[in-house]
Amino acid sequence: MKLRAIAVLLALLAPLAGCGPQRHGAADARTTRPHVDAGSAAAGAGFDFYLLNLSWSPEFCHAHPDAVECAEHARFVLHGLWPQNMDGTYPENCSNAPEPANPAEYADIYPEAGLLRHEWRAHGTCSGLSADAFFTAARTAYRSVRIPAQLNAIAAQTSMTPEEIAGAFAASNAGIPRAAVVVSCGHNYLTAAEVCLDKSLKPMACPALRACRANTVRIPAP
């Protein structure tokens, strides 16, 4: 167990340059793809779609038991709504636009104000939306996805294949095709389920995103 905690911590530190504080215990799936710096000419050129990242909170909480979300014994929680490009790049840190005047309005999706600020600075500023409009969109996207009953009911660690997890999301959401769901993992533990959305927040087939390649993943219980 101690070795697993060390491995999770090392994986957590790796992507800090790309996405800042992580809600899960493994590297952000996007860190293997190039980002577009705010200072480049392409930074203000828009983006192609959103990636809605729903982190499996029990994996994050294994190494961060004192985090606010961990007291709630949550399952899938919102990590972020991330602008992405079809060519595999993604914009980051696009402007110094102000964050929400009242971050507490979004405590239902971001109980930690620090994460909300990070998500706005790194990703929200690239959306072309005001801070309040961006987090309202993130809330709408998060609430539009029904979490599969079998994953909500997990009471003890279990194992599933990535295809079973993605298929469960598609089966539980009539409007979400299987091609719109990507599963992320780290050290053969589930870290997140991601849904590709167009700019109107409608599910769409994902381009070639890096996905979990494990045959099966372990899913720790809350």
Going along the chain from its start, the domains and CATH numbers come out as: 2-219 (3.90.730.10)
Per-residue model confidence (pLDDT) at position 207 = 95
Per-residue model confidence (pLDDT) at position 28 = 39
Per-residue model confidence (pLDDT) at position 204 = 98
Per-residue model confidence (pLDDT) at position 127 = 97
Active-site residue, 69 included: no
How much is the pTM? 0.82
Ranges of the chain whose pLDDT falls below 70:
1-45
Active-site residue among 35, 62, 64, 123?
A: 123
Active-site residue, 118 included: no
Per-residue model confidence (pLDDT) at position 39 = 37
Tokens representing 210 are 């890096």
- Name the CA radius of gyration of the chain, rounded: 16
Active-site residue among 79, 99, 118, 194?
A: 79
Active-site residue, 123 included: yes
Active-site residue among 59, 92, 119, 194?
A: 119
Per-residue model confidence (pLDDT) at position 73 = 78
Per-residue model confidence (pLDDT) at position 100 = 97
Pairing between β-strand 90-91 and β-strand 35-36 as defined by DSSP bridges: parallel
Backbone angles phi, psi at 145, to 5 degrees: -100, 120
Nearest to 63 by CA among 134, 146, 6, 126: 6
Backbone angles phi, psi at 38, to 5 degrees: -60, -30
Per-residue model confidence (pLDDT) at position 87 = 92
